[in-house]
Amino acid sequence: MYKPIHNTLIIGKKLIYLPSCHSTNDIAAELVLNGLVEEGAVVITDNQTGGKGQRGTKWISEPSQNLMLSVILRPNFLPVAEQFLISQMVALAIYDYLSFYTNDVKIKWPNDIYISSKKVSGTLIENSIQGAAISSSVVGIGINMNQTVFETLRSTSLALEAGINVNLRQEFEKFAQVLDAGYLRLKSMKNNQMIRDLYLKNLYGYQKPVTFKYQNEKVIGVVTGIENNGRLLVKITGRPGIYDFGLKEIEWVWDELSTPFS
Ligand code: BTN
């Protein structure tokens, strides 16, 4: 059971708690469509029967063990070309929140969060565009908290990494405060370069050699930056120039070279 948050300015003041649902992103999108909610409203659940991941994947989470929520934002102050700032701000909020408990947290482009080379959190952002602005954004966040057994070896949780078992309601409150601060910073539009710089600083592969799969070939590359539109800039060893990649155009490969999480 989750409760509305009182010590934030925007995030979580309105809370829709569902013990079980298909996907909090779908519920949030319906609320947006029906014009029924204010900015900052959060849909949160203990159990998702059809949790959605990026690129059409599923997000599977053990009931009552993890945070699964969707935040409704109305970032109409952001030009469409700047929408990646939402991803960057949210990734940084999750990064900051998890860093209270453990070191070795990294952002993996575009907005996965890893601890010690294993995924602890994923975000699915679904934006609605009106003209040149973003009229609404459903920010779906999954953070693995108390779950200790996973189907894949590349998944982890706060419990496994920090050795603690947490109270989900209290942790939601803490996380909402961090996200609230991040969103207010973004909304002020004064510190956008700082958001980009912090994101880069904590990005996996930034200025370090990591392995990618590109055009069916394993290549070594160094992330040199991120375009404002979110494309990843990579210098590939042995090839001239800098390549820029969109979401489906490059794959990360995890091998002995891909662990510079220091
Ligand atoms: C990913 O890494 O592939 C993104 C995962 C996003 C999962 C969250 S859980 C809450 C919200 N509702 C969903 O259906 N998905 C997001």
Say yes or no to pLDDT of 82 above 80.
Answer: yes
8 Å CB contact between 20 and 49: yes
Atom 15 (ligand 1) nearest CA: 52
Summarize pLDDT for 159-189 with one digit per residue, the tens.
999 999 999 999 999 999 999 999 999 999 8
pLDDT for 73 beyond 70 = yes
> Is 41 a residue whose pLDDT tops 50?
yes
* pLDDT at residue number 190: 85
Q: Is the pLDDT of residue 261 over 70?
A: no
Mean pLDDT, all residues of the chain: 94
Q: What is the pTM for the complete model shown?
A: 0.95
Q: Supply the pLDDT for residue 36.
A: 79
142 lines ligand 1 (CB under 6 A): yes
For ligand 1, say whether the CB of 209 is within 6 Å of any of its atoms: no
Average pLDDT (213-226) is: 93
Residue 256 confidence (pLDDT) above 70: no
Peptide bond into 209 cis (omega under 30): no
Map residue 186 onto helix, strand or coil. helix
Give yes or no for residue 111 CB within 6 A of ligand 1.
Answer: no
Q: Is 235 exposed, middle or buried (0-12, 13-18, 19+ CB in 10 A)?
A: middle
Phi and psi for 138 in degrees, rounded to 5?
Answer: -100, 115
- Counted residue by residue, the chain has a size of 262
Q: Is the pLDDT of residue 2 over 90?
A: yes
CA of 142 to the centre of ligand 1 (A): 5
Q: What is the dihedral of CA 37, 40, 46, 48, to 10 degrees?
A: 70
Residue 255: band (very low, low, confident or very high) from pLDDT cuts 50, 70, 90: low
> Can you give the three-state secondary structure of 102-126, one letter per residue?
CCCEEEECCCEEEECCEEEEEEEEE
Q: Residue 56 above 60 pLDDT?
A: yes
φ, ψ of residue 163 to 5 degrees: the values are 65, 35
Cα separation values, 262 from 81, 103, 106, 122, 206, Å: 32, 9, 9, 21, 11
Q: How far is CA 115 from the centre of its chain?
A: 13
Give per-residue burial for 246-262: e unless 16+ CB within 10 Å, then b.
eeeebeeeeeeebeeee
pLDDT at residue number 13? 97
**Strand-strand pairing, 42-45 and 67-73:** antiparallel
Say what percent of the chain tops pLDDT 70: 97
